[in-house]
Amino acid sequence: MIRLFKVKEQQREQAENANGGIPVKKQSAGELRLHKDISELNLPKSCAITFPNGKDDLMSFEVTIKPDEGYYAGGTFLFSFQVYHPNIDLEGNVCLNILREDWKPVLNINTIIYGLYHLFTEPNYEDPLNHEAAAVLRDNPKMFETNVRRAMTGGYVGQTYFTRCM
């Protein structure tokens, strides 16, 4: 055990020396997990992850989803956003089972992004946050499609104004 700490101390010193004597920030467990998840990402071509503060700040990233099928085909969605969707409320909260009751530590960012992508290709009116949008999808899919197009191009759906999707 003592030898392990000595090896770790030597590695830290080498990293500091390579960095011009500047102490190397110790990564948190969350940062280590996030680094692992990001290195293993295998996203569909319609999804992308970016780091607005650079790769050194892994805890700050954006996910862009550009569905190529379904009601939301042709749209570009950058999290956080405001969208007419039965599983996303007007404050941008997302209803996705793997972010709630089905969460397990073995799930990774890739799984979450695929889950978000799936919300845009197959919206679920059975587990809604936006009950009005869910009712329209369930009862009148053509009207739902019209509302989605209106929301994606900027305009009113009911009493809510949506800004144009990228």
Task: Tell me which residue of 80, 41, 35 sits closest to 62, measured CA to CA.
Answer: 80
Q: Exactly one of 95, 137, 152, 165 is catalytic; which is it?
A: 95
Give, as one character, the DSSP assignment of residue 88.
B
> Mean pLDDT, to the nearest integer, of 107-132?
87
Cα distances (angstroms) measured from residue 138 to each of 60, 90, 125, 133: 36, 19, 6, 9
Per-residue pLDDT tens for 42-70? 888 999 988 888 877 766 778 899 999 99
Read off the pLDDT of each residue in 110-126 and give the average, rounded to a whole number. Answer: 88
CB 74 within 8 A of CB 148: no
Cα 14 to Cα 33: distance, rounded to the nearest angstrom? 23
Model confidence at 162, pLDDT cuts 50, 70, 90, reads low
In 3-state terms, what secondary structure has residue 41? Answer: coil
Give the pLDDT band of residue 30 (cuts 50, 70, 90). low
- Report the alpha-carbon distance of residue 67 to residue 56 in Å, rounded: 29
Contacts of 124 (CB under 8 A, 6+ apart): 86, 87
| Tokens, residue 108 | 């990774």
Q: Is 95 a catalytic residue?
A: yes
**pTM exceeds 0.85 for this model:** no
